[in-house]
Chain A
Amino acid sequence: MLKSLHATRNSQSLPEIRSIDNRAKTFDALVRPHFDRLYRLAFRLTGRKAEAEDLFQELLIKAFGKLDDLVAIDQPGSWLSRVMYNLFIDEQRRFARRRMHTVDEGFLPGDGLDGLAGSENPEKDQQRFEKLQQLDAALAQLSDEHRVVVLLHDTEGYKLEEIHDLTGVPVGTIKSRLHRARARLREILTESGTFS
């Protein structure tokens, strides 16, 4: 018989022992190998570095709270990606609202363009930069569903099945969104004179 019967529970439960340092170390070892991929996903979902980092941070806080579950998971990377995606969906209104403000203010929604590497051909670089700026603006006009699918598939190289695992959206729907997203991008870029 458990000795816990010795205690008569009153207004509060029995004190619980918690690890001080090993949980943090365990967590670090489990999640760190996935950081780059998760950071990229966060950036693709939100479109801005500051928001991506907020989302990344929220994910880690949530995941640490579920460390006991995380330890038992075969593929923590996939699980973390799904949690991040769900957090993004939960916070979508907030992110969408910020993105609208950004467009209204005339700024580009993505701030990764600042980090573009130059080549030895400045004229070509400039053309490429302008096209990417136009793509950036075109992506901002897509719905979240279309933008996320096209960025994950065509930019990040996710397979359709991986996007399905991440989002829970049927593969057929993903294909349809991808097709429509590309067509809409072509349309917007044609209207903006991006294509020669």
Chain B
Amino acid sequence: MHTSDTDRQDQEVLELLRDYPMATADAAFYDQALVRATHEGSQRQRNRWIMTGFGSAVAAGIVLWLVSGVFLTAPSLPQPDAGIPGIAMTLEEPRTVNLVFASTSALDAATLTVTLPEGIELAGFPGQREIAWQTSLVEGKNLLPLELIALTPAGGEVLARLEHDDRDRTFRLRIEVS
């Protein structure tokens, strides 16, 4: 049974609860939490391409093929670099090559075709010189990891052709095998 004392105490409990203090986040906490989330969240999705820093990419055995340049009016396909970038591979030693496509707009259902020279294979697709599949690009930088294996010392050019609607762009990567 409630008494006036009980009512007063209830009121006081409510007032205390309203005053119950709150910890505050440190100034940099939110930013740090975001950075960690985007890194760890990506890793948890088995995005093997996430490295601690792209500056150390070459040292880590990753080659970036950064495609930039002038973009067409949207919707547009990313432009290939004027020069042909190259990498050196060791015979029969798998190497992941990360291709970076910069796109000014999202591209749904784009078709990507990778054409490999004789003696270079995409891991998991033995004996296939041309591999094509549909994919989507988001606005901004998009990364495609390709694990390549050189089976002969011949080397050659890897072509990655991106097609969307009735347009296409071809990117080239020169491979030397030692």
Query: Which chain A residues have a beta carbon within 8 Å of chain B's beta carbons?
Result: 2-4, 6-25, 27-28, 31-32, 35, 39-40, 43, 49, 52-53, 56-57, 60-65, 67, 110-113, 115-116, 128, 131-132, 135-136, 139, 150-151, 154-155, 182, 185-186, 189-190, 195
B20, closest chain A residue (CB): A155
Interchain CA distance A20-B16 in the complex, whole Å: 48
Interchain CA distance A63-B21 in the complex, whole Å: 28
B-side interface mostly: mixed
Residue from A28, A53, A56, A64 within 8 A of B41 (CB atoms): A64
Please determine whether A11 and B134 come into contact, CB atoms closer than 8 angstroms: no
Pairs across A and B, CB under 8 Å, 25 listed: A2-B134, A6-B132, A7-B125, A9-B125, A13-B124, A15-B144, A17-B112, A17-B137, A18-B142, A18-B144, A19-B137, A19-B142, A20-B142, A21-B140, A23-B38, A31-B34, A32-B34, A39-B25, A49-B23, A60-B41, A116-B21, A151-B17, A151-B20, A155-B20, A195-B12
In the complex, B79 has a CB within 8 A of chain A: no
Please determine whether A61 and B113 come into contact, CB atoms closer than 8 angstroms: no
Please determine whether A19 and B135 come into contact, CB atoms closer than 8 angstroms: no
Between A14, A32, A132, A182, the greatest number of chain B beta carbons within 10 A of the residue's beta carbon is seen for A14
Interface size on B, residues (CB 8 A): 60
Binds A, one of B43-51, B85-93, B169-177: B43-51
B142, closest chain A residue (CB): A17
Shortest B37–chain A CB gap in Å is 3
Interchain CA distance A128-B12 in the complex, whole Å: 11
B114-144 CB mask vs A (1 if < 8 Å, else 0) is: 0000000011111010111111111111111
Please determine whether B131 and A7 come into contact, CB atoms closer than 8 angstroms: yes
Please determine whether B42 and A64 come into contact, CB atoms closer than 8 angstroms: yes
Residue from A22, A60, A132 within 8 A of B37 (CB atoms): A60
Known A32-B30, A154-B17, A155-B18: A64·B37 in contact at CB below 8 Å: yes
Please determine whether A190 and B20 come into contact, CB atoms closer than 8 angstroms: no
In the complex, B13 has a CB within 8 A of chain A: yes
In the complex, B70 has a CB within 8 A of chain A: no
Residue from B41, B100, B124 within 8 A of A10 (CB atoms): B124
Chain B residues with CB under 8 Å of A15's CB are 122, 144-147
Between B22, B131, B135, the greatest number of chain A beta carbons within 10 A of the residue's beta carbon is seen for B22
Shortest B139–chain A CB gap in Å is 6
Interchain CA distance A194-B161 in the complex, whole Å: 75
B145, closest chain A residue (CB): A15
B1-38 CB mask vs A (1 if < 8 Å, else 0) is: 00000101110111011111111110001100110111
Please determine whether A28 and B124 come into contact, CB atoms closer than 8 angstroms: no
Residue from B19, B30, B45, B138 within 8 A of A65 (CB atoms): B45
Known A7-B125, A190-B9: A20·B38 in contact at CB below 8 Å: no
Shortest A177–chain B CB gap in Å is 14
Please determine whether A8 and B138 come into contact, CB atoms closer than 8 angstroms: no
Known pairs A60-B33, A115-B24, A155-B18 / 12 extra A-B pairs, C-beta < 8 Å: A4-B133, A7-B131, A15-B144, A18-B49, A20-B143, A23-B38, A27-B37, A39-B30, A61-B36, A110-B21, A182-B10, A182-B13
Known A14-B131, A28-B34, A154-B14: A19·B141 in contact at CB below 8 Å: yes
